[in-house]
């Protein structure tokens, strides 16, 4: 896999399934990752599974369909890791 050292990624839907696996692979390749999702507990558990050191993963809970949550997710990446290089929008919206 390509090196993602010194890159910052946001992965929505990062608490399970494809999103969690993508976040894990990015961390393994050197990226720092902010995972977003709706469930605080699932996000915390996913963060531990993705990076046991806790240094490469930050979590942000909220409904990404809300513009203020989307902005807060970006702000979390900027404030925690210094920017955003990669965005993986892995969110399933239900109406």
Q: Set out the domains of the chain in order of their start, with CATH numbers.
A: 8-88 (3.40.50.720)
Kindly write down the DSSP assignment for every residue of 37-80, as one continuous string. ES-HHHHHHHHHHH-TTSSSEEEEES-TTSHHHHHHHHHHHHHH
Torsion of CA 75, 16, 92, 56, to 10 degrees: 20
d(CA 64, CA 41): 17
pLDDT, one tens digit per residue, over 42-90 is 999 999 999 988 899 999 999 998 999 999 999 999 999 999 999 999 9
Note the pLDDT of residue 95: 53
Higher pLDDT, 94 or 86: 86
Higher pLDDT, 8 or 2: 8
Higher pLDDT, 53 or 24: 24
């Amino acid at each position: 896999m390509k090196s993602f050292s010194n890159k910052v990624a946001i992965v929505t839907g990062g608490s399970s399934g494809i999103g969690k696996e993508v976040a894990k692979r990015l961390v393994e390749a050197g990226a720092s990752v902010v995972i977003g999702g709706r469930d605080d507990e699932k996000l915390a558990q996913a963060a531990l599974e993705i990076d046991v050191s806790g240094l490469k993963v930050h979590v942000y809970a909220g409904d990404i369909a809300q513009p203020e949550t989307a902005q807060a997710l970006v702000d979390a990446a900027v404030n925690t890791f210094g920017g955003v290089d990669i965005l993986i929008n892995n969110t399933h919206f239900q109406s």
